[in-house]
Amino acid sequence: MAQQDIERVLVKGKITAPIGEDVESVSVYNISSQKGTITNAEGLFELEVAENDRVQVTALQFQSFTVIVDAGVIESERMAIYLNPAVNQLEEVIVRPYDLSGNIIADLNRIKTATINPGWDLSYETLEFEYEFSADESTSVKGNKAEEAYYNGQKQASLDFVGLAGLLFPKKNKNAEQEFANKLILHTALRQRFSNSYVSETFGIPENRVNDFLYFLEERGVKRELLKAENELLLLAFIQRESAMYLKKLDSK
């Protein structure tokens, strides 16, 4: 049975953190079902899960981590996640509920945030080709085994999309923030489904352009219905058509 077709229960969740830490607009994405949501101002969320589902949590000020759902979460129909800033660097962040009530403590590295200069050109072309971002002591953990497994061993850019959404859009502008969160969910689903090597070998996209191609697909309007297991052939046909257009665009440059 496909992961998307497994019977799931609606779990009420809450993310808490030390005083002063923001718990709004945290992305909670069920990798197994390829569906997700974001928390409200109180850190509350609802998500359908099944036992052994892998739920990825991404917050602005902490590194991402994955929760493996156990029987306690299913029985209690609740998931309480406490984000605990870690002092030491962690090589792997996969956590399981530590009791039968769905309570979870995640020891995480804090990610330094910065204010966006209103004068910056934040178009995708500028971010991709003109600005150079280098690693420093605040860069997220390298060699994260959980993340490597999630991305089939391929290296990923460390741009924090949820954090960027919070910086770009004022909290009152919920429509813009929700749209950005939807794009994040779509991007995560595509990365989960297709590895760099698969996209390159199947559609002829240069491997160093796969990320750019996926953003191109998102801008072209990938419907979320295409991500369902029963629409696999429709999704592949869509990507095939768009890959021809993308390659033609590359050749014209």
Looking up residue 106, the CATH number of its domain turns out to be 2.60.40.1120
CB of 205 within 8 A of CB of 199? yes
3-class secondary structure, 105: strand
Q: Which amino acid is it at 140?
A: S
Residue 202 lies in a domain: no
Please give the Cα distance from 27 to 244 (Å, whole number): 33
Q: Give the range of the structural domain holding residue 48, as residue numbers without chain letter.
A: 3-193
Residue 177 lies in a domain: yes
pLDDT in tens, 161-194: 344 444 444 444 556 656 666 666 677 777 767 7
pLDDT in tens, 197-231: 888 888 899 988 888 888 888 888 887 778 776 77
Residue 21 lies in a domain: yes
Please give the Cα distance from 82 to 84 (Å, whole number): 6
Residue 72 lies in a domain: yes
Model pTM above 0.75: no
Residue 252 lies in a domain: no
How many domains are there within the chain? 1
Residue 250 lies in a domain: no
**What does the DSSP 8-state code read for residue 115?**
P
Residue 236 lies in a domain: no
Residue 15 lies in a domain: yes
